[in-house]
Amino acid sequence: MLLDPLSMLEEEEDPEFSAEFQETIERADSGTLWAFIAAVLLAQAGLFAVSLGAMLIWFRNQWTLGGGLVGGGAVALALTVGIYWWHRTRSTGVS
């Protein structure tokens, strides 16, 4: 017998929770959502590129491709930090 996780969600539907969750989503700023999505994607891509580049350099001695991946991954991670600080200062007014 296979476990179907979606069937468990359908059984546990709570109307109060659903209404509260919907209100929270409606109040959320679209800028926050897009900043979060961009930060997550850049962080994932950056970590992948740095890791793959380091492995290419260490195990296969491919400095050109590996170095480019490490550099590109570092830029993606720096952009992630930039998005975080931009959003933090925009939402809280901290300078």
Q: Helix (H, G, I), strand (E, B), or coil: what is residue 12?
A: coil
Cα–Cα distance for residue pair 80/61, rounded to 1 Å? 28
39-51 residue pLDDT tens? 999 999 999 999 9
Contact, 86 vs 95, CB < 8 A? no
Averaged pLDDT of the chain: 85
Cα–Cα distance for residue pair 44/21, rounded to 1 Å? 27
- pTM assigned to the model: 0.70
What does the domain layout of the chain look like in residue ranges?
29-92
